Amino acid sequence: MTSSRIDQSVAVEDDPPLLLPDEDYLQGPYYEGARLPSPSGGFLMVLGVRPIDEGSGSGSILLECTASSLRYQMIVPKATRSERKKVRDMIDDGSDPKCPRHRGQFLTRIRHDLACPMCGVRYAKAK
């Protein structure tokens, strides 16, 4: 007898995540740390956050639906000019910079940039 659990996880890994049809609507609750309703019922759990590519500055969030186990990708828009300025001001003040979108979330260094581990967006160059 083969284990169906293993077969299932292999199948899921092979499927590319679906793009969320209404990601703009989900970004507000995501920044607030609220539960995200899934398009296929249930809720979306965060599986991982990563910056997209070096040049874009946007973030990508991998989500899994609690009801259907479908995986979705949410693209988080890159930092605006005023968000970058906020972060630069925090650095200039000598404090540890926080994400302008996530309350109380510190930025972490990813290669040459300071990015938010919750949204994957780069907000400043690391020194």
Q: Given the rule CB under 5 A, which residues bind Zn ion?
A: 99, 101-102, 116, 118-119
Measured in whole angstroms, how far is the alpha carbon of residue 94 from the centre of its chain? 26
Residues 83, 77: contact at Cβ < 8 Å? Answer: no
Q: Which residues pair with 74 in a beta bridge?
A: 61
CB of 50 to Zn ion, least distance (A): 13
Q: How far apart are the first and last CA of the chain?
A: 56
The residue number whose beta carbon is nearest to Zn ion equals: 116
Residue number with CB closer to Zn ion (61 or 118): 118
Supply the minimum distance, in Å, between the C-beta of residue 116 and Zn ion: 3
Minimum separation from the CB atom of position 108 to Zn ion (A): 10
70 vs 119, beta carbon nearer Zn ion = 119
* Residue with smaller CB distance to Zn ion, 116 or 124: 116
Q: Going by C-beta distance under 8 Å and a sequence separation of 6 or more, which residues neighbour residue 15?
A: 71
